[in-house]
Amino acid sequence: MEEYGKNPKLSYNKYLKVRELINLQETLSDPTSHDELLFIIIHQTYELWFKQVLHEIDGAIGWLAEGRKFRVNHALKAATAIEKVMVSQIHVLETMAQIGFLEFRDKLNPASGFQSMQFRELEFVSGAKDKKILDFFEFDEFAHERLKKRFEAPTVGEAFWALLEREGFEVAEKQGKIDTIVKILRHPEEYPELFIMQDLLVEHDEQVSAWRYHHVLMVERMLGMKRGTGGSEGVGYLRTTLSKKFFPEIWEARTYLEL
């Protein structure tokens, strides 16, 4: 056994590439604004979380196709747990002084959070596919190719309904989907894994909505009604995204549930 710390074959820093990681934050302001480092780290952290959430949802889609309900639920639990962290992380940005943010904000033009490829992938894989968003990324070959694959691939909702159809539920039409979820909600002890699954899909939807809501408030708190760095309407545009639902039939089923 090698003595700890003596010529290790693998170390924490090497495995996690810490040297490379802490050199990825390149500020643009000169002199460097104190708050710019925080702004970069928060957004880089978001991109890492987006990567992991996509990994979990991709896993869930594969396991849905195989009928492995336990693994599906396990992956969705991980995704929603991460999303709760993502929501709370927004409030760290609110520790920036408004004037401190303005010290470097203009340097970001024309970059914008609207251009987050992985967040758009998350929307697409969850069911919110928008051809206008796909076309917007034509300027970025790497992002456009990834989003095009997502746009053409099955969503987690489609994989969920396909599983239910294989199990004998009627899901061909909207009302059939609603009736199926009502049946599962009414008899959770008969369909325990499906009950948990539909609830986790709703939670995924809810957490992304909560992220959007808190993001809108954070932006307004920082910038008021200023236009976005990418030319969008800023808070005005962000507010239009708050009513989006990935799984409307699962939500609507709650309205039909009765004793």
- pLDDT tens for residues 81-119? 999 999 999 999 999 989 988 899 888 877 677 789 999
Of 5 and 125, the one with more pLDDT: 125
Q: Is residue 13 part of a domain?
A: no
Residue 186: closest CA among 129, 251, 253, 257: 257
| pTM (whole model) above 0.85 | yes
231 in a structural domain: yes
Q: What pLDDT does 227 receive?
A: 64
Task: Classify residue 7: in a domain, yes or no.
Answer: no
Give the chain's domain count. 1
- Of the ranges 3-7, 28-32, 230-234, the best mean pLDDT one: 28-32
Contact of 87 with 207, CB cutoff 8 Å: yes
With bands split at pLDDT 50, 70 and 90, how would you rate the model's confidence at 174? very high
Q: What does the pLDDT read at residue 220? A: 86
Q: What is the rounded average pLDDT of the residues 25-35?
A: 93
- Tell me what the pLDDT averaged over the chain comes to: 92
In a domain, 25, yes or no: no
Any idea what the CATH number is for the domain that residue 104 is in? 1.20.58.480
For residue 11 the two structure tokens come to 């170390």
Mean pLDDT of 23-43: 95
Under 8 Å CB-to-CB from 45, ≥6 apart: which residues? Answer: 89
Give how far Cα 88 sits from Cα of 119, 138, 190, 204, Å: 17, 32, 35, 15
Nearest CA-CA partner of 82 in 211, 238, 216, 251: 211
Instruction: Please check whether residue 5 lies inside any domain of the structure.
Output: no
Is residue 161 one of the residues assigned to a domain? yes
Domain of 78? Answer: 33-256
Sorting pLDDT into bands at 50, 70 and 90, what band is 65?
A: very high
Residue 234 pLDDT > 70: no
Does the residue 10 lie in any domain?
no
pLDDT in tens, 148-173: 999 999 999 999 999 999 999 999 99
Residue 109 in any domain: the answer is yes
**Mean pLDDT over residues 135-151, rounded?**
96
What pLDDT score does 3 carry? 66
Number of other residues whose CB lies within 10 A of the CB of residue 173 = 10
Distance in angstroms (rounded) separating the CA atoms of residues 152 and 129: 9
Q: How confident is the model at residue 60 (pLDDT cuts 50, 70, 90)?
A: very high
